[in-house]
Amino acid sequence: MNNLENFKKLGLSEKSLLAISKKGFEKPTQIQELTIPLLLQNTKDIIGQAQTGTGKTAAFGLPILDQITENTGNVQALILAPTRELAVQVAEEMNSFRGGRKIGVLTVYGGQSYDQQFRRLKKGVEVVVGTPGRLIDHLKRGTLKLDQLKFVILDEADEMLNMGFIDDIELILSKTPQEKRVLLFSATMPQRIVQLAQKYMSEYEIIKVPSKQLTVNLTDQIYFEVRASDKFEALCRIIDVEKEFYALVFCRTKLKTDQLSNALIDRGYDAASLHGDISQAQRERILSQFKKQRVTILVATDVAARGIDISDLTHVLNYSLPQDPESYVHRIGRTGRAGKQGTAITFVTPSEYRKLMQIQRVSKSEIRKESLPKVKHLIKLKRERIVSEVNEIIEAGNYHDHLNIANELLAHYPSDQVISALITHAYKDEFSSEKYTEIHEPGTKHVPKSSRKSESSPDMEGITRLFIALGRKDKMNPHKLIALIQKEAMLDAHLIGDVEVYDNFSFANVPFEEAEHLIETFRQKGRDKKPLIVKAKGKTKSTKKPSSRSRRKR
Ligand code: ADP
Ligand code: MG
């Protein structure tokens, strides 16, 4: 029990200590050290902020279990989580902390049968962990009673207090007794959310574990300057240059995650995407595949990746720049965990450079610039890798399985031909430089206008001017045009600029990053299945008809 001293000091009960020793925890994390005594000793509400993976569940879970009366059948703690698998994860963790206590923990989420939930609720449970929608169902049916509630916990609180959930949370809170403690835990806690949270809390304390010392130590942080249209190629080169690439890749929108994972799969990588529109069942399947490393590249949005506890990632890659420094720290905290070195990579387009510098300053991280690997170097590396891997197999004596085939082949052909043919068979076009496309220097400023191909668009710094084959004759107006683009690209209206609507067509500026996507989406939606949107040609006020041939790069 010696190494439990550190936990004992915090005031936890013998039963909690027993559970901790079974879990094999050796010492409390910072958030646990700060939260547990407070939760045990006073009655204040708490806002707790610490990075993902720092054991926030135990920080609130253990002291709460210590204050629950066993075997009453009354719900005394209600834990709210934004997604089903987070609810399941928290409930499992809570169960493991019981240390033999007669405390029932029930998970309640949509998609699960009501019957089973009714039965358990009727029998009585002490802790309920759930997602808001289904909890409200039960509250309305009167099958869930909260009159004996002592604790309400919002896990991933910033998410729970966001637009999508806030009404549900208010409704649930309105069914709880006045006298209770409200606890908020999250990895990020924007000021806006803290202000909102105060509405629901009495006297409260903020516990904040700075993320800097948690991430920066073991995470090597790199950025690459790339044009939006070169990002995919850049990503492939990075994957190919690494011996191991087990990574989360972050995109800003659901559509981008799907597009990117599909493109990666086409190129032969084991990728999958995760976002809010994916069904729960599929989501679980994808996560389990990722945990088993059958899928090694998971492309996700911030929200979809939230709270998911995956260790051992070699890389986190920001395909699109995170919204703010806090999400940057949160994202890259997924790698470099548990004493292992990890790498965080960020793609920056020229127009995003200032934002990156701001992230670097606020998060106090050191993000180093690197250049993308050259194709020649990649191919050389791949060759060296084969030679060294074959060496390893021979040294380890693992070559006996196929000696028959080897001898058969060698009876007919010289050995160099056989080996070369086998490499072609095994690696196909792996060593061909044609797999890769050219990557442009990101600073478009340095490219003289005259040397650009005639087909290329009048790209300004990070901005692309689009030609839209809809005009006043189609009842188009600037307002409608912005709405159309906005809906498809999920862009803030202020990012859509210089809108001009003429009789037969219109123009608008959008960020680089969105242009390709918009063009692709509206490919066949124009008259006679012609592309509805293409890059504007020549001068921004060109009046040429749209070309039916829009540039498409793979
Ligand atoms: P968070 O909610 O902060 O993202 P979790 O509560 O999900 O983190 O915990 C992440 C993992 O760390 C879990 O597997 C948990 O069992 C483990 N863990 C929690 N506290 C400790 C500790 N003190 N020592 C070792 N592992 C811990
Ligand atoms: Mg958590």
pLDDT(455) > 50: no
* Cβ of 56 below 6 Å from ligand 1: yes
Question: Which two tokens mark 540?
Answer: 């921004």
Residue 338 confidence class, pLDDT cut points 50, 70, 90: low
Return d(Cα 305, Cα 282) in angstroms, integer. 14
Q: Are 105 and 126 in contact (CB under 8 A)?
A: yes
Q: Are 449 and 539 in contact (CB under 8 A)?
A: no
Ligand number with the minimum distance to the CA of 89: 1
Instruction: Please name each of the domains of the chain with its CATH number.
Output: 2-213 (3.40.50.300), 219-372 (3.40.50.300), 376-435 (no CATH), 463-553 (3.30.70.330)
pLDDT(214) > 70: no
Nearest to 130 by CA among 103, 101, 153: 153
Substitution site in 10, 57, 160, 330 for ligand 1 pocket (most atoms within 8 Å of beta carbon): 57
* Cβ of 333 below 6 Å from ligand 1: no
Ligand number with the minimum distance to the CA of 31: 1
Q: Is 218 helix (H, G, I), strand (E, B) or coil?
A: coil
According to DSSP, the β-strands at 506-511 and 463-468 are antiparallel
The predicted pLDDT at position 339 comes to 57
For the CA atoms of 214, 220, 221, 222, what is the dihedral angle to 10 degrees?
-170
Question: Which two tokens mark 93?
Answer: 């963790």
Q: Is 537 helix (H, G, I), strand (E, B) or coil?
A: coil
Note the pLDDT tens digit of each residue in 403-434: 998 999 999 999 999 998 988 888 877 777 88
pLDDT(528) > 90: no
pTM of the predicted model as reported, rounded to 2 decimal places: 0.52
Return d(Cα 378, Cα 438) in angstroms, integer. 13
* Cβ of 309 below 6 Å from ligand 1: yes
For Cα atoms 489, 308, 61, give the angle at the middle one, nearest 5 degrees. 135
Note the pLDDT tens digit of each residue in 72-117: 999 999 999 988 888 988 999 999 999 999 999 999 998 888 889 9
Q: Which residue has the tokens 């040397």?
A: 451
pLDDT(548) > 80: no
The predicted pLDDT at position 527 comes to 63
Read off the pLDDT of each residue in 325-353 and give the average, rounded to a whole number: 80
DSSP 474: G
Q: Which atom of ligand 1 is nearest to the CA of 52?
A: 4
The predicted pLDDT at position 104 comes to 96
Counting Cα atoms < 13 Å in the Cβ hemisphere of 227 gives 20
Q: Which residue has the tokens 């095994």?
A: 426
DSSP strand E in 444-486: where?
A: 463-468
User: 142's torsion region: left (phi>0), alpha (psi -120 to 50) or beta?
Assistant: left
Note the pLDDT tens digit of each residue in 164-179: 789 999 999 999 999 9
Q: Lowest mean pLDDT: which of 38-47, 193-202, 255-264, 456-465?
A: 456-465
How many secondary structure helices (H) and strands (E) does the chain include?
Answer: 22, 18
The predicted pLDDT at position 152 comes to 97
pLDDT(510) > 90: no
Q: Are 432 and 216 in contact (CB under 8 A)?
A: no
Which residue puts its alpha carbon closest to atom 17 of ligand 1?
Answer: 55
Return d(Cα 10, Cα 81) in angstroms, integer. 26
Which residue puts its alpha carbon closest to atom 5 of ligand 1?
Answer: 55
Percent of the chain, pLDDT > 90? 43
Read off the pLDDT of each residue in 315-323 and give the average, rounded to a whole number: 92
pLDDT(39) > 70: yes
Substitution site in 208, 309, 334, 337 for ligand 1 pocket (most atoms within 8 Å of beta carbon): 309
Question: Which two tokens mark 175?
Answer: 């069914």
Q: Which residue has the tokens 């890769």?
A: 436
The predicted pLDDT at position 12 comes to 97
Look at 220 and 101; give whichever has higher pLDDT.
101
Read off the pLDDT of each residue in 260-278 and give the average, rounded to a whole number: 91
* Cβ of 188 below 6 Å from ligand 1: no
What residues have CB less than 8 Å from 454, skipping those under 6 apart?
none
Q: Is 552 helix (H, G, I), strand (E, B) or coil?
A: coil
Cα 128 to ligand 1 centre (Å) = 20
The predicted pLDDT at position 66 comes to 98
* Cβ of 242 below 6 Å from ligand 1: no
Return d(Cα 308, Cα 260) in angstroms, integer. 21
Which residue puts its alpha carbon closest to atom 20 of ligand 1?
Answer: 55
Residue count (the chain): 554
* Cβ of 49 below 6 Å from ligand 1: no
Which residue puts its alpha carbon closest to atom 23 of ligand 1?
Answer: 28
According to DSSP, the β-strands at 151-155 and 181-186 are parallel
Look at 540 and 36; give whichever has higher pLDDT.
36
pLDDT(549) > 50: no
Q: Is 344 helix (H, G, I), strand (E, B) or coil?
A: strand
For Cα atoms 117, 279, 231, give the angle at the middle one, nearest 5 degrees. 145
Q: What average pLDDT does the structure give for the chain?
A: 84
